[in-house]
A and B are shown apart, each in its own frame.
Chain A
Amino acid sequence: MFFDEMLHFFGQMAAQTGLAQFWWGNVLMIAVGIAMILLAIIKKYEPLLLVGIGFSCIISNVPGSDLVLPGGLFHYAYEGVQLLILPPLIFFGVGAMTDFGPMIANPKLVILGAAAHLGIFVALIGAKLLGFTIYEAGAIGIIGGADGPMAIFMTMKLAPHLLPQISVAAYSYMALMPLIQPPVMKLLTSKRERQIRMKQMRTVSRVERIAFPIVIGIVVNLLLPPVAPLITMLMLGNLFKEVLVTERLAKAAANEVMNVVIVILTIAIGSTMGADKFLTGATIEIVALGLLAFLCGTASGVIGAKIMNLFLEEKINPLLGSAGIASVPIAARVAHVVALQDDPENFLIYHAMGPNLAGVFGTALSGGIMLALLQ
């Protein structure tokens, strides 16, 4: 009798621990979290993001604690995403560390920032064909914009339950762009085209740099109010940087604010990667659609540049088209590296930053139009 009571007591104790809820899915997701951390440390793939996401993914798959439950610490981090506070704050920091000079200096290249976003719509249609709802398809499609905060923003508006898959796919593919883009770029261009050298760009004055965020903030918010939080904070951060009299605010935005927000954002994303939500067929489909979006976006950007060359006297290097994908500055760097392989003195990085930065607006415009049509 005493032995039975002791067994019953220990059984009740065991049932209260996380072990009672632990299943193979948790083991798999813990392995995924560890893999993310290792990729960050060894391969240096987006370490600022993957370490935090990986660790909180691990902890979220250790059942028993109330970290991810309402009232738990991770839950409050998620509230920052759910209430759409964190993505605009990321853009605030991005604006404060971004030099929009290359984009201002060569206005004709901004169209590549939209041309390279065909991948968004290929993924959207593909997702709809696979049976996702139109809202889920819209959120999946925006992976093709290669803009993390925008992907999170759109997902929370359209399909918040897909946040873990979409954010992990978006950030992972951004980190893998040096592997994904070059084969497509080389397939669609000849060596001679890749060797096209761009003319030296003009210097952009301080007056233009200050006017830019003010004018763009007014125009884009007037036309597309749904993306006003993101564009406003992007332009505010940039204005702090460019007016020169608020240097300490610009530095705080680019450093302290950005660092704190990244920590909270990565915890929030990782906290949603519970095995029960992540290990579904939808995850594999979303990962595949994300890759398709990146491949098609790269191709459409390069083709867009080649179409522009049909009308331009002074040809542009078509590799700049692939930089129209918004992943700043990775896509620009990839275009620069691929160009160097065919001409070691062809330095495209500054020119590629133009369409790369325009891609941020391209993603915001595509997302804003999508929200306006769907909501």
Chain B
Amino acid sequence: MEKDTVTFAIMLSVIDFFLSMVLISGIGVILWLLPFLNRLGKLDEESMRRGH
């Protein structure tokens, strides 16, 4: 398809907008899963700050 047209611009915009919504929702899912990492343990922030 010829890229330098208004039709392509509209198609690009629709695809880009909805795809970015899908991808950022995926990031949202990843963020929702992050708290499960807390089951691995807790980090001692004081010793982390002291140790360098």
Contact = CB atoms under 8 A, between A and B. Distances in A.
A150 interface: no
Contacts of A111: 21, 24-25, 28
Interface string B9-52: 11011111101110111111111101101101111010011011
Contact of B51 (A113, A115, A245, A374): A245
Nearest to A207: B37
Nearest to A366: B20
A365 B19 CA distance: 9
Given A108-B28, A219-B30, A208 B37 contact: yes
A207 B38 contact: yes
B20 A211 contact: no
Contacts of B38: 205, 207-208
A153 interface: no
A141 B9 CA distance: 11
Contacts of A141: 13
Interface in A351-375: 358, 361-362, 365-366, 369-370, 373-374
Contacts of A107: 28-29, 31-32
A311 to B, nearest CB: 13
A174 interface: no
A243 B27 CA distance: 21
Nearest to B9: A128
Interface stretch (A39-47, A118-126, A338-346): A118-126
A211 B9 CA distance: 37
A113 B52 contact: no
B45 A370 contact: no
Given A107-B32, A110-B27, A117 B37 contact: no
B22 to A, nearest CB: 9
B16 A121 contact: yes
Given A113-B24, A223-B23, A245-B52, A125 B13 contact: yes
Interface stretch (A53-61, A67-75, A129-137, A186-194): A129-137
A211 B34 contact: yes
B31 to A, nearest CB: 4
B28 A134 contact: no
Contact of A362 (B24, B29, B30, B41): B24
Contacts of B9: 124-125, 128, 134, 137
User: Which are the 10 A-B pairs with shortest beta-carbon distances?
Assistant: A121-B13, A107-B31, A128-B9, A244-B48, A114-B24, A365-B20, A107-B28, A110-B28, A107-B32, A208-B34
19 contacts: A107-B28, A110-B24, A111-B24, A113-B24, A114-B23, A124-B12, A128-B5, A134-B5, A134-B8, A134-B9, A141-B13, A207-B40, A208-B37, A219-B26, A244-B49, A247-B52, A366-B16, A373-B16, A374-B3
Given A206-B45, A246-B52, 13 more contacts: A107-B29, A108-B28, A114-B24, A125-B10, A128-B9, A133-B4, A134-B12, A207-B40, A210-B43, A219-B27, A247-B49, A358-B24, A365-B19
